[in-house]
Amino acid sequence: MGALALLPTLHQPTDAEAVRFGQRSVTHWELRVVTAALASQLSGVRRVAIWAQPELETCVAIVAALAAGVPAVPVNPKLGTRELNHVCADAIPDLVLAAPDAVLPETLRAIPRLSVDLRAQGAAIPPEPDPESPALIIYTSGTTGPPKGVVLPRRAIAADIDSLAEAWAWTTRDVLVHALPLSHVHGLVLGVLGPLRLGGTVHHLGSFSIDGVVRELSGSATMLFGVPTMYHRLAAAAERDPEVAAALSRARLLVSGSAALSVSDHQRIASATGQQVAQRYGMTESLITCAVRAEGPGKPGTVGPPLDGVQLRLVDDQGETLEVGDDNTVGEIEVAGPTLFLGYLNRPDATAEAMHDGWFRTGDVATRTADGHLRLVGRRSTDLITSGGYKIGAGEIEDALLEHPGVTDAAVTGEPDPDLGERLVAWVVAAGDPPPAAEELAEHVAALLAPHKRPRAVHFLAALPRNDMGKVRKAELRPSC
């Protein structure tokens, strides 16, 4: 096996359950057998696309590609035609792996197909590839142009899972439940490869439901991974249904990521269940870099300190490192260490722009407390608003709005203003009809924060536009929407 095996259980499998989707599951031993058979068919293949439906076959396909040392490109089934065409033209996969009954879109039907047969057997696990070799190519959301393929090496995945295992006391005994997409870091790297590397178990719900979470946490599941939208719904359900609250209270660990969990929802869950939701922060290019520890004081609104082995700093607009300890000093997050990507596929220009002297420029801005905990402000491009000479983070205003009983969801953006430079605009989903008055919400924020942080305009929407990871698509927020 060697000490550097990405998935040690492929070399030393057990009869313990590895992956379950509904009534279908495989043990670590069964996963080894089918993985070896599938990997033997990937010899000489340069790159594979994987149709990442929430199915058992997707997990097997990913593991087989990793075992064969063939870079895998997980393809989000929700991609539009233009996005899918871009991914395929950029990655140029030799094969597409999919479940036998999967109906592929036209773009993927033009690529040779290998169906994932869970009954396959009769081969040996290939030798372990080089830790620096590419393992996954995960495409970014494309909010600032066409999606870029982030090339993640085996070394980064292993280092990140091991650091998270230390932070969360995550072991072979844990059973993780989630319903996250299998084409992103959260659901795939953390949610599938994490349990498999550690010899534990993952139960995937297929799609998120309150009943599914309750059923699993009332059974063998010990951990839940989710995004803020899921926890928002769980908070409401726990407040009205003691069975939901009891199930959440049984979890060893609740983890939220991919977007910021509001302080309001954090407090609602804590009040209803006695549980503190652990937040974490990362990007596709750097994997997870910060996390609230399983043991230790929770700080609502923070994403914890850096993981062991991760170097992290905040820099100002001139690239100078900011001193730790001033919770009002906002800087861009830069990351270095073993969890970093190799670069963007076919984009040396973008790679050079994102990297300097071994540090990755995240484009995210945050403050940092004296004990090292990060409090995210958001993306520099959309969530850091300069108004009247003040640098204002959209996140704290969003949290303040969510504390108003008449608000169920909120986002804040900046728009040009001839006097202030930018003015703060709130986009609100009201809890009832009629909605609160705009002036009432502005005064509510000004009372909780500072007068200059009050929204200057409030727009009411039926729902905020979000991607499948729960992040608000702020570029789509326009007065006419």
Of the pLDDT bands very low, low, confident and very high (cuts 50, 70, 90), residue 342 is very high
CATH code of the domain in which 468 resides: 3.30.300.30
Q: Quote the pLDDT of residue 327.
A: 58
Question: Among 138-152, 159-173, 179-193, 239-253, whose mean pLDDT is lowest?
Answer: 138-152
Residue 447 located in a structural domain: yes
pLDDT for 173 beyond 90: yes
Q: Which whole number is the average pLDDT over 387-400?
A: 77
Over residues 62-70, the mean pLDDT reads 97
Look at residue 477 in the predicted model and tell me its pLDDT: 85
What the block records as the tokens of 366 is 């945050």
Of the pLDDT bands very low, low, confident and very high (cuts 50, 70, 90), residue 153 is very high
Q: What is the mean pLDDT of residues 337-366?
A: 94
At residue 247, the pLDDT reads 98
Residue 128 lies in a domain: no
Of 140-149, 283-292, 363-372, where does mean pLDDT reach its minimum? 140-149
What is the identity of the amino acid at 368? Answer: R
What pLDDT does residue 481 have? 44
Is the residue at 392 inside a domain? yes
Classify residue 417: in a domain, yes or no.
yes
206-222 mean pLDDT: 97
Out of 49-63, 260-274, 376-390, 426-440, least confident range:
376-390
Residues contacting residue 400 through CB under 8 Å, at least 6 positions apart: 444, 445, 448, 449, 453
361-368 average pLDDT score: 89
Residues 93 and 87: their CA atoms lie apart, in Å, by: 9
The answer to whether the CB of 35 falls within 8 A of the CB of 125 is: yes
Judge whether 177 and 205 are in contact, CB under 8 Å: yes
Domain assignment of residue 412, yes or no: yes
Say which residue, 274 or 330, is predicted with more confidence: 274
CB atoms within 10 A of CB 71: 23
The verdict on residue 29 lying in a domain is no
Out of 24-33, 93-102, 426-435, pick the least confident: 426-435
**Domain span including residue 427:** 384-476
- pLDDT surpasses 60 at 326: no
Q: Which of 18-27, 235-244, 368-377, 390-399 has the lowest mean pLDDT?
A: 390-399
pLDDT value at residue 436: 92
* 451 alpha-carbon distance from chain centroid: 34
Most trustworthy range by pLDDT among 49-58, 122-131, 319-328, 433-442: 49-58
- Residues 410 and 413: their CA atoms lie apart, in Å, by 10
Mean pLDDT of 398-422: 86
Residue among 284, 178, 168 at smallest CA distance from 231: 178
Closest CA to 425 of 361, 363, 368, 481: 481
| pLDDT-wise least confident of 99-108, 178-187, 266-275, 441-450 | 441-450
- Quickly state the pLDDT bin for 262 (edges 50, 70, 90): confident
Report how far residue 379's alpha carbon sits from residue 472's, in angstroms, rounded to the nearest whole number.
Answer: 12
- In 3D space, the residue among 430, 469, 424 whose CA is nearest the CA of residue 450 turns out to be 424
* Better-scored residue on pLDDT, 61 or 474: 61
Q: Please, which pLDDT band fits residue 319 given cuts at 50, 70 and 90?
A: confident
What is the pLDDT at residue 340? 98
pLDDT, position 131: 96
Q: At residue 3, does pLDDT exceed 50?
A: no
Angle at 263 between CA 399 and CA 192, to 5 degrees: 115
Annotate the chain with three-state secondary structure.
Answer: CCCCCCCHHHCCCCCCEEEEECCEEEEHHHHHHHHHHHHHHHCCCCCEEEECCCCHHHHHHHHHHHHHCCCEEEECCCCCHHHHHHHHHHHCCCEEEECCCCCCCHHHHCCCEEECCCCCCCCCCCCCCCCCCEEEEEECCCCCCCCCEEEEEHHHHHHHHHHHHHHHCCCCCCEEEECCCCCCHHHHHHHHHHHHHHCCEEEECCCCCHHHHHHHHCCCCCEEEECHHHHHHHHHHHHHCHHHHHHHHHCCEEEECCCCCCHHHHHHHHHHHCCCEEEEEEECCCEEEEECCCCCCCCCCCCCCECCCCEEEEECCCCCECCCCCCCCCEEEEEECCCCCCEECCCHHHHHHHEECCEEEEEEEEEECCCCCEEEEEECCCCEEEECCEEEEHHHHHHHHHCCCCEEEEEEEEEEECCCEEEEEEEEEECCCCCCCHHHHHHHHHHHCCHHHCCCEEEECCCCCECCCCCECHHHCCCCC
* Range in 207-211, 289-293, 431-435 with the lowest mean pLDDT: 431-435
The model's pLDDT over 296-313, given as tens digits with 9 standing for 90+, comes to 766 788 899 999 999 999
Stated pTM of the model? 0.85
464 part of a folded domain: yes
> What local confidence, expressed as pLDDT, does residue 50 receive?
98
What's residue 176's pLDDT?
98
Query: What CA–CA distance (Å, rounded) separates 35 from 27?
Result: 12
By mean pLDDT, which of 82-96, 183-197, 399-413 is the weakest? 399-413
Overall average pLDDT of the 207-224 stretch: 97
What's the CA angle centered on 378, arms 280 and 267, to 5 degrees?
A: 55
Give the model's confidence band at 102: pLDDT under 50 very low, under 70 low, under 90 confident, else very high: very high
Q: What is the overall mean pLDDT for the chain? A: 90
Name residues whose C-beta falls within 8 Å of residue 292's C-beta, 6 or more positions apart in sequence.
276, 278, 279, 280, 298, 299, 302, 303, 304
| Span 426-433, average pLDDT | 90
Average pLDDT on 346-360 reads 95
**pLDDT at res. 407:** 92
Region 286-301: mean pLDDT is 86
Per-residue pLDDT at 70 exceeds 90: yes
CA distance 270 to 275: 5
Residue 12: inside a domain: no
Residue 390 has pLDDT above 90, yes or no: no
Question: Between 349 and 389, whose confidence is greater?
Answer: 349
User: Is the model's pLDDT at 39 over the cut of 80?
Assistant: yes
**Total number of domains constituting the chain:** 1
Q: Please give the pLDDT value at position 145.
A: 63
- Mean pLDDT of the 450-472 span: 84
